[in-house]
Structure 1
């Protein structure tokens, strides 16, 4: 039996609530904590056309919240109405809901704030005479008062004693420090898209944040996250609708993998300057980063989407935290593609720089009067100790070649240094012995290519140690082989297998049907054949030969998250490469290790499919610095 139970089965008299109580209850849908007041007041300040906005909070906003702006101000007539329920200048008819461009539009904010606090607004119109302004004081249960006052420009809005007249709500407020942190977060979110406005934030009289007008989203994003010194690690991308008359466009600020996080807290989605919760766009950002962020790490990013107001509805959440899109498929795809293309070119640029360095080294050898392969004693005076119990086993030392690189030394070195051709680094390598046998059979590596690095040995049967261009490379053999296998897989034509009994699944609406029709051919290229058998009904007839998993769940994911067909193939390739790659602790003989390193240095992207780097580099200067040598 419940200790506190509602009385049921007893008819009670229905009564109309007093206006004051009704306003307090309605206000609770909009204003639940101090940060909600901050959100609404900042929206109004932004809509005023201000280019300087100042937020002040006291005791976490519980005691007092003040927002000052230098906007257009309010006339006496508008000031008298602004705190009344459902009074707004933003919309006048139902049709206006289809073209909302302002931050506020419902006419609920100031009325709700006045219902749960003591509201005071001082405002001066831009065209008004010097210091000629009006002041409104509004509090639930009392008649509004308007009097002349003196302020220099814009508006000053104060909300004092939040929920002082509503104890049932006030008791659930957190400590001032907690409420202040939430106010701070809202301040940051509101300031991010409006780079042409100077925002400042004060808590208990102390300046906490200051964001001057910025030249770019990247600059404002860096200020908001305290990354001013890491501006070079942030990148700004853009994309837009490909239609003749574009209906949307976006900019994305995204950080390098070195700034990655373990959570999604710093992925921000803005639509028409509103911060919203839109998982499909968050997922599009993450999909674009696949393969470049290791171990499930998440990027720091902000999407700034501008879209025709007719294609999005913000009037579905009391705090406007959500939006409903007519069709977000094309936007999702463009976000994913833009980010993926950027990181692909970003990695390729790094490889090009490395290749240029390699070419310079090669030419140095070609034009030297004393041409020879770099030998052990150029930078390492003694061979490493090979002990029985040692984890460091220099497995390829070999005889030192002569100056002219002729005869037996040349032949044996070249043979031991042959690469494993892509067609041989595949699933046939069931274990390291088979990998080793295959590597020793390969021939044809040019001698000068062999001279581009020197192999010293392995550590812990996992890391291969090599030197190239006076830098020490520590190479993860599993990650390197995994990337090679992954690239192979993605370059092959997808092989399909027919289902004995086609799998039937249904769609929810015409938008889902349209999406499947738009990707049907691409799905087939990636190994999945689907056919529409009736309105809202589809059959899966063929699947990729290596697909493992629930097919019904697969297509639910495709429809809900707008998964790209290429991403399906990528998931299969990642799973395949991870399973087939040389494992940690597997021993590679000399020829196999050299061949794997050669293949690794030829990769366009030095990361495993999950985003982990294949190698780490220690320069000669860094090594000397670590051991305090000059």
Structure 2
């Protein structure tokens, strides 16, 4: 007797449904995609008990005739594909014809619909329970379709018991509906949970307006516009300024041809763009749209249709990377500290008083300014940045009043109105140096308030960009060692060394293998001649090892620049003369990203004049 048996159809359907319906949010996703494909202008979703008890999605789309409504519950029955060639250029969100039969096999489902060609009294109601057709009725119905799914997984207890709490499942649904609302600002979306409205957003003309509706003005202020085009591929959207960071990736929204996706290629490009702007453990806020011909992307790579493949992977990756980096370079803005909040905030838009609740019904604002004018990119020679004599002072710093907290301030800077600033988000040309706190933080003021600058990370940013520029221009000055230095590396680091040797040499390190795990260092960058070679190289290799990703040229070059900058930067608890503090500020303003160090930490903190006066009771 044969051991292999053909499974009963009902069991096979339950197994197949598990590939498409993982949780209540999966049902909502498939129904929303059907609504979008049907040309709906409005979609209303309602759930109970996190979608376990009830999921209902209603739209005003095209609807179906009775024959089509019945046929839609057959496996692989679809109006979106006609031939095998159609798979090469899929323009709709759904296309397999599996979603409705899969839902119906593991729930109690009722579909009501009417096609515009049918009279108002000739709508169709189809009821299916656990994959079994219960009834088909003619009912009065308005234009569009409504699908009600009750008791999800009622006949698959093994799946039902693994669902999370109601709040967790509702969180997944809320994020999902938010994704689709962002992808289609021209549509109305609403979501209700257990009779409570979570949000209801009306159609708006732009993505910026939809972001405002869903997240509020404060969220929008911390974003910069992203755009780029290469051939027939376009990238657009918004990304956060470096100081706006999250602890998880839930605030990253990726779309390809307005299809919500989870794509490693896009995520990798985003990480690389923010590599020296935010800490490695943090996530930026990103709303990114990639538009390209339908035959340039394969969306049939995963049952949930959220994983895709690009035909031109390198082009898409580099376009995203370049677009975000250009946006960040133009977003030079300083975080403002406010005593009543621990959050980093940008200066408020003058005259704005919009409410900040993220889940409210709003119309779009008339306009939201996005003025990102980058300052001059002029830079001094690379060597000057490293050779400025911070360490060995030939003369003592000027004597200024100093209190027991370690604050040194020039007396003549305590009075008088500061110079007016230009309108650029990062223009500190009018800033005046006041002194230091604990010989570690430079204090300055301008027309907007008080500035505190971390001298170590500020110099780190300057040195990082100088070194990177010198490597690109092949102008790194090399210092040969009179006696080559022999170093012993751990076995696992020798593999990383072999991969990194070309970039180490471009950066000024002449390193060669010396048998076994030994290496010989014959020369170093001139600026590093006084550094401990072993510590510097070990730090570089350990940093590359900890990244746990493919070691491409850019990543290796970046790690070398970061390590060199960290080693060469002035330290905390180091007194600086006024002219040296001013030099530090001037050089910082010339960098591409003056607000964050290469590790992602903030460089400048601003105390707004308004906040200072408010805390002193003057306003």
Other-structure match for 1:577: 565
Distance 1:241 1:544, change over 3 A: farther
Measure how far apart 1:344 and its partner are.
Answer: 1.2
Q: Deviations over 1:553-591 (max 9, x none)?
A: 7999557xxx5x555433322221111101122233455
| Aligned partner (choices 14, 25, 39) of residue 35 of structure 1 | 25
Measure how far apart 1:192 and its partner are.
Answer: 2.0
Other-structure match for 2:444: 466
State the secondary structure of the residue aligned to 1:286. Answer: helix
**Unmatched segments (≥5 aa) in structure 1:** 1-10, 356-382, 401-450, 506-520, 530-541
Which shows bigger deviation, 609-618 or 471-480?
609-618
* Greater helix fraction, Structure 1 or Structure 2: 1
CA contact (8 A) 2:105 2:132 kept: no
Other-structure match for 1:275: 260
Q: Does 2:338 align with 1:338?
A: no
| Aligned partner (choices 66, 85, 108) of residue 75 of structure 2 | 85
State the secondary structure of the residue aligned to 1:257. Answer: coil
Q: Does 2:541 align with 1:549?
A: yes
Other-structure match for 2:227: 238
| Aligned partner (choices 460, 463, 477) of residue 455 of structure 2 | 477
Q: Deviations over 1:513-542 (max 9, x none)?
A: xxxxxxxx999988899xxxxxxxxxxxx9
**Aligned equivalents of 1:543 and 1:79: distance in 2?**
76
| Aligned partner (choices 604, 609, 614) of residue 598 of structure 2 | 609
Measure how far apart 1:253 and its partner are.
Answer: 1.7
| Aligned partner (choices 190, 196, 208) of residue 206 of structure 1 | 196
Q: Does 2:54 align with 1:64?
A: yes
Mapping of residues 348-427 of structure 1, within 5 Å: 386-387=402-403, 389-394=404-409
CA contact (8 A) 2:224 2:328 kept: no
Q: Does 2:504 align with 1:488?
A: no
**Aligned equivalents of 2:524 and 2:180: distance in 1?**
46
Measure how far apart 1:198 and its partner are.
Answer: 0.7
Other-structure match for 1:118: 108
Q: Does 2:304 align with 1:319?
A: yes
State the secondary structure of the residue aligned to 2:113. Answer: strand
**Unmatched segments (≥5 aa) in structure 2:** 334-370, 378-398, 415-428, 481-485, 487-493, 497-501, 511-521, 526-535
**Aligned equivalents of 2:227 and 2:134: distance in 1?**
48
Distance 1:526 1:221, change over 3 A: farther
Which shows bigger deviation, 126-135 or 199-208?
126-135
Other-structure match for 1:415: none
CA contact (8 A) 2:461 2:598 kept: yes
Other-structure match for 2:207: 217
State the secondary structure of the residue aligned to 1:56. Answer: strand
Other-structure match for 1:586: 574
| Aligned partner (choices 261, 281, 285) of residue 270 of structure 2 | 285
CA contact (8 A) 2:62 2:144 kept: yes
State the secondary structure of the residue aligned to 1:145. Answer: strand
**Aligned equivalents of 1:332 and 1:219: distance in 2?**
27
RMSD over aligned CA atoms reads 3.9
CA contact (8 A) 2:61 2:144 kept: yes
CA contact (8 A) 1:480 1:614 kept: yes
State the secondary structure of the residue aligned to 1:285. Answer: helix
Q: Does 2:103 align with 1:133?
A: no
Measure how far apart 1:73 and its partner are.
Answer: 0.8
CA contact (8 A) 1:526 1:566 kept: no
Measure how far apart 1:319 and its partner are.
Answer: 1.2
State the secondary structure of the residue aligned to 1:549. Answer: helix
CA contact (8 A) 2:241 2:331 kept: no
Measure how far apart 1:196 and its partner are.
Answer: 1.5
CA contact (8 A) 1:287 1:336 kept: yes
Q: Deviations over 1:448-491 (max 9, x none)?
A: xxx96654432112012234558433222112222222232233
Measure how far apart 1:281 and its partner are.
Answer: 1.0
**Aligned equivalents of 1:48 and 1:544: distance in 2?**
65
CA contact (8 A) 2:27 2:103 kept: yes
**Aligned equivalents of 1:343 and 1:119: distance in 2?**
48
Distance 1:338 1:149, change over 3 A: same
**Aligned equivalents of 2:225 and 2:140: distance in 1?**
44
CA contact (8 A) 1:34 1:62 kept: yes
Other-structure match for 1:170: 160
**Aligned equivalents of 1:125 and 1:528: distance in 2?**
72
Mapping of residues 528-567 of structure 1, within 5 Å: 548-549=540-541, 557=549, 565=553
Distance 1:452 1:220, change over 3 A: closer
Distance 1:613 1:173, change over 3 A: closer
Measure how far apart 1:398 and its partner are.
Answer: 8.8
State the secondary structure of the residue aligned to 1:346. Answer: coil
Measure how far apart 1:60 and its partner are.
Answer: 1.7
**Aligned equivalents of 1:117 and 1:16: distance in 2?**
24
**Aligned equivalents of 1:161 and 1:599: distance in 2?**
64
Q: Deviations over 1:119-143 (max 9, x none)?
A: 2111111122233211112234634
Measure how far apart 1:323 and its partner are.
Answer: 1.2
Structure with larger Rg? 1
Q: Deviations over 1:283-302 (max 9, x none)?
A: 21232234444675321111
Distance 1:73 1:59, change over 3 A: same
Which shows bigger deviation, 52-61 or 596-605?
596-605
